[in-house]
Structure 1
Amino acid sequence: MTTAIPFDVYPLALGGNTFGWTSDEATSFDVLDAYAAAGGNFVDTSDSYSAFAPGNSGGESETIIGSWLASRNNRGNVVIGTKVSQHPDFRGLAASNIAAAAEASLRRLRTDYIDLYYAHFDDESTPLEETAGAFDALVRAGKVRAIAVSNYRAERIREWFAIARREGFAMPVAVQPHYNLVHRVDYERQVAPVVADENLAVVPYFGLGAGFLTGKYRTQADLEAGAIRGHMAKSYFNDAGLAVVDALDKIASARGVEMATVALAWLRGRPNVVAPIASARTLEQLPSLLASATFDLDGSERADLDAVSAR
C-alpha cells in the first residue's frame, strides 16, 4: 500500500506508553531489543508518557527510548513517532509551546530529528493556522521529517489541509485514531473518508482494546482484577464486545495463534492502515504482537470478523 508517509515502517508499531510506567528501563530495553531483532523499526511515544502515573512528570518514555537509541547506536534504523500538546509543562498547540516541546523531546530522545511528529489532541483555543505554521517551521528547520495528527475530528483535519495548501505548509502524512474491532464507528464514518481523500497513513492506537481483544477480560471479575488496563477495557465489555472476543477465539484456536495476533492482523488489513500500535509490558507479551505482522486472515475469517464487529 502506498500512502503519504515518507518512510518504510514495519507493519506493527511498538507502543512506548509502558516505558517508565509499567515497564522499568531494563525491561523496556529488552522489549525494544527483541522488537528490533525481529525487524521492527517503528516506535510510538509521546512527550506526556507517562505523566499520568504517580511519581512521574512526563517524558519518561522518551527518555528511555533515547537512552536505548544511544546505547545501541541505531538511530538511523528506527522511525520515532512522538507527540505534543499533553505534557504538563507544554500543554496546547500554540506556536511557542510546540517549538519548546519539540526541543524538550529532542533532548530526551537524544537525537536531532523526530521522524513523525503528531499533534496529540486538538487545541481549539489556538488558531489552526498558528499550529500548522509551527509544525511547518519544524519541518523546514530539519527537526521533524513529517507531521501527523492524533484524535482530530474529520472537519479539523480537512481544515488543516486547506490551510497547508493555501500557505504552502507541510501537510500531515498520517493520522492516529482510536480504532479496533470493538471501536469502529467513530473512525470509519468520520475520519476514514478524509484518510481516503488525502491518502493518509493510519496508525491506530488501542488496537487490542486495552487488552480486551486478547481475551483477558471475559467476566466482571476479570475486569476488576485487571487494575488499570481492566478499567480502560470496561467500555468494550458488553454482549457485542464479547461476541467479537468469541469470534477471535474461534479463529485463533483453529489457526494455532494468539487472539492478539488475529485482532492486530484484522486491523493491519484495513484500508490505509500501515501499522497498528501495540504495547508489550513484558518480553513475554511481545511474540503474539510480532506474529501479527506476517499473519494473514483468509477471506472467510475476515468476513466473519467484519460481520461480528459491525454490530
Structure 2
Amino acid sequence: MKHFKIGGVPEHFNLPWYLTLKNKEYQEEEINLRWIDYYGGTGQMCKALREKEIDMAVILTEGIIRDIIHGNECKIVQCFVKSPLIWGIHVAKNSNYTSVSDLKGTKAAISRYGSGSHLMAYVNAENEGWDIEKDLDFEPIKNLEGALEGLPKGDGDYFMWEKFTTKPYVDNGTFRLVGECLTPWPCFVIAVRNDALENEKEAVKAIIEIINKTTLEFKNIPSIDKMIANRYNQKIEDVQLWLSLTEWGQENLSSMQVEKVQDTLQHLDLIETKMPASEILYFF
C-alpha cells in the first residue's frame, strides 16, 4: 500500500475528492490517500508542501506558481478547475464603504502573505487602476473565520474570498458584497512534491486518473446540487449557478497559461524572475 497525504480547502470545488475517498477508489489501486483540510488556503498549503506535511495539494494556480519560483520543490501535474475563480470583495455589515472604488488606500484582510487573498488583492488593484505601492495595505487574519470575526472589529477594511463560499455570510448580513474580481486563468491546479514524483510516479498518475474520471462525470451525478447545498450550507439556486459556471479540467496547464500567470506576477512585483514552464509543469 502506497501512502499519500493531499491538502485542499474544505470547499465545494473539492467534493469530487471526498466522493472518491468515500468510495475507497484509491484503496482499490493499493493507495492509501489521506485528505487534510487547510482552512488557511494556499499560503498554508505552500508551507505544508515545503515542510513535507503533505505530498500533494489542490491549490490556487497563481499561489503555487509564485511559490515554486521562490523555491518550493513541487510541480503542477494537472489543472483541476479550468474556469476562473470568482473572488467576492466583501466589507463588514457596519462598514461605510459601498463600492470597490471606496476601498482605494484601505487595508485588505488576507489569510496570509503569499495566499490567494493576498495575490488577488494586487490583481484587483491593477484592474481598478490603483497605485500598487500607495493604495494597498494588508492585515493577515489567517482564514475565513478570522475575517468573520475581525472585519466587523476593524481588522482590515475588505476581504476577498471565493464568492459562493462566502455567500451564506452575505445572506445572513455578516458581510456585504461590494464587487467581484475574476482570476484571468484557470483557478485550481494539483501540485505534487518533486520527490513524490520521482519515487512514486505511477501511484501519483493513478490518483490523477481516478479524480479525472470523477470530475468528468461530476455534474451528472443525480441530485448533486442538493448534496452540495446540504454539505456546504448553500442555497440550491446558488449551487446551480455555481455548477453552471464551473468547469473541471482533465489536462495540465499550457505553457502559455503559465507564462500569463508569471507575466502578471512579475508586473505586480510579486516575483523578480520567471521560470521556464518546463520547470513548473510535469507531464506523465
Q: TM-score range by the shorter chain?
A: under 0.3
| TM-score, with length taken from structure 2 | 0.26
Richer in strand (by share): 2
What TM-score do the two structures reach when normalised by structure 1? 0.24
